[in-house]
């Protein structure tokens, strides 16, 4: 039985469908994935094969690319208006039989409006869509698979990989405009700064020497004084001393569970020795970051997480879409943050140091 049915147009999302099918077969039993180019035997009736597969599947993934809605046949007519169009038949059959249908948007496609669809496909517009972006493919696919494994009848393979010690940070989202809090910050300080190392790595793919650690503040190099952390943020917690850490490690497992590490407060503006920096807004253990270098040539946005005094961030360069992965440790007094910035696209890494303003 075909547990997962992939519906797609080859000239619209064929490449994405093939990539997704490969990922599906890694995560689920291969015989649960149905894709017409592989599943139909030579000489078999195409319509009959599709009808049987759709009727027996647990979920249909309707892959929608930029040309899915307005694709035309050789006569110049829209394919979806043809009652014998295969994609229309696949989705209409699934909707009619009560099969779970998930629209999967690829290559930046938007969800079609209900009025733009043929009558038999209009219920599709009311289904919650899932986007697969080329820039964050692995993360988006993992989220989709998390939804699929909850559907009765689908069996996901067990992953042998160990659980990470710290919850993974989701990749930076695609640029959809700056959030309100980021725009407000820019209005106050004129220009938000980010690590000088980030600008250097964008301009020069060759590895650069580590940034020298300096306690000197350079906030006056910015156009305006940096703001204090937002009022809604809690006051920084008491420092975690080495004695407390040693005591917690030496305690038996039950005691360690009862005494979780103190959640550090990293909200506010951070400046590098070169006068660049970044602004962090914190909600519990989750972080939202907006940044730009001092010369205002590189802009970044991203997300992160904090656990104890360990900080993880993923920033996306707004002009190129390239990601920067950052791991840092907050000092015990909460005033300095040191760590390493890594760019997967170039394989380069650099050390950095920041001072809280």
Give the structural domain span for 73.
Answer: 4-148
Q: With b meaning 16 or more CB within 10 Å and e meaning fewer, what string describes 135-171?
A: ebbebbbeebbeebeeeeebeeeeeeeeeeeeeebbb
Among 131, 148, 165, the domain boundary falls at: 148
Q: For the chain, 357 residues long, give each residue's pLDDT as a single digit of tens.
A: 468 888 898 888 888 988 998 898 888 877 778 776 555 566 667 677 777 778 778 899 999 999 999 999 888 999 999 988 889 989 998 898 889 999 999 999 999 999 999 999 999 999 999 999 988 899 999 999 989 988 887 878 765 444 444 555 555 544 444 444 343 333 333 333 334 444 444 444 444 444 344 333 433 443 444 444 444 445 555 554 444 434 444 445 544 444 556 778 998 898 888 877 888 998 888 999 988 777 777 788 889 999 888 999 998 888 777 888 999 999 988 889 998 888 887 778 888 889 998
**Is 124 inside any structural domain?**
yes
Residue 128 shares a structural domain with residue 189: no
Judgement on whether residues 231 and 130 belong to the same structural domain of the protein: no
169 is a domain residue:
no
Same domain, 287 and 216: yes
Task: Answer whether 58's CB lies under 8 Å from 50's CB.
Answer: no
């Amino acid at each position: 039985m075909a547990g997962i049915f992939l519906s797609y147009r080859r000239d619209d999302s064929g490449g994405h469908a093939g990539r997704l099918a490969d990922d599906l077969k890694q995560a689920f039993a291969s015989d649960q994935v149905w894709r017409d180019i592989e599943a139909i035997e030579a000489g078999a009736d195409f319509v009959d094969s599709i009808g049987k597969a759709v009727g027996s599947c647990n979920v249909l993934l309707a892959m929608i690319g930029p040309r899915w809605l307005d694709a035309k046949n050789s006569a110049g007519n829209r394919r979806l208006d043809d009652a014998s169009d295969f994609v229309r038949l696949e989705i209409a059959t699934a909707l009619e039989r009560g099969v779970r249908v998930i629209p999967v948007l690829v290559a930046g496609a938007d969800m079609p409006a209900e009025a733009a669809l043929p009558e038999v496909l209009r219920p599709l517009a009311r289904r919650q869509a899932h986007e697969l972006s080329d820039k964050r493919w692995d993360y988006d696919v993992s989220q989709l698979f998390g939804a699929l494994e909850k559907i009765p009848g689908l069996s996901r393979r067990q992953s042998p990989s160990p659980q990470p010690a710290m919850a993974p940070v989701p990749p930076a989202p695609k640029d959809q405009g700056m959030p309100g809090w980021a725009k407000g910050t820019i209005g106050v300080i004129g220009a938000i700064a980010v690590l000088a190392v980030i600008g250097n790595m964008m301009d020069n793919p060759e590895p650069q020497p580590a940034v020298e650690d300096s306690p000197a503040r350079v906030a006056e190099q910015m156009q305006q004084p940096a703001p204090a952390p937002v009022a809604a943020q809690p006051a920084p917690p008491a420092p975690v001393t080495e004695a407390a850490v040693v005591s917690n490690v030496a305690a038996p497992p039950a005691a360690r569970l009862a005494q979780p590490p103190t959640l550090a407060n990293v909200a506010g503006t951070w400046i590098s020795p070169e006068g660049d920096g970044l602004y962090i807004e914190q909600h519990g253990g989750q972080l939202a970051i907006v940044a730009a270098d001092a010369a205002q040539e590189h802009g970044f946005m991203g997300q992160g997480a904090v656990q104890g005094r360990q900080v993880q961030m993923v920033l996306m360069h707004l002009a190129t879409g390239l990601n920067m992965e950052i791991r840092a440790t907050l000092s015990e007094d909460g005033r300095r943050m040191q760590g390493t910035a890594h760019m997967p696209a170039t394989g380069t890494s650099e050390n950095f140091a920041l001072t809280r303003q």
